[in-house]
Amino acid sequence: MDTRAKLFYKAIPYLLALSALYAFTGSAIGKPRTKELAPRFNVTTTAGEKFNNESLKGRVVLLEFWTTWCGYCAQEAGFVDRINDEYDSKKLIVLAINVGESKKTVKKYLEQHPRNTRIVLTDATNLAAMFAAKEYPIYVVIDRDGNVAGEQRGAAGERALRDLLARGGLDDDDDDDDK
């Protein structure tokens, strides 16, 4: 057996251990594992509402990065809107951030596919760059203390999104009376 083959066979257990460690600590759903302070941001919705880190303290925030051409975004829009309505009284703010498209394109799309979430255009915030929004949809949950509680890149369904919201302190059993 040549030297390269011996090295390869000796490296296999280490590679497997590293793979297992990554799978345990670095999955796409739920990143980051430890909470970190959300980056400072400002947003203005298409309706003219203004939000920033300070104005959102005490609320759970769901950032949804989407585009009009993303089929998965369109599939998941219905339950994102339903969650928006369901948790509105539980202090959830959903900001649906369209990435990289013109106001005209987004307006035309929304005429055909109405949304009940707050819509934000890329030119009204710096969040898309902060979260490296390059594939869609991307969901980021910010907890009531302003920490990034979790992140999901790609479509994973309603249950996964509800689980992500629970990491931010919002779940199906939330009781409005204690807030």
Residue 114 has pLDDT above 60, yes or no: yes
Question: What pLDDT, on the 0 to 100 scale, is given for residue 176?
Answer: 46
How many angstroms separate the CA atoms of 78 and 31, rounded?
24
Domains and CATH numbers, the chain: 28-178 (3.40.30.10)
36-74-58 Cα angle (round to 5): 30
Residue 97 has pLDDT above 60, yes or no: yes
Number of CB atoms found within 10 A of residue 139's CB: 25
Q: What is the pLDDT of residues 21-76, one digit of tens each?
A: 444 334 444 444 467 899 999 999 999 999 999 999 999 999 999 999 999 999 99
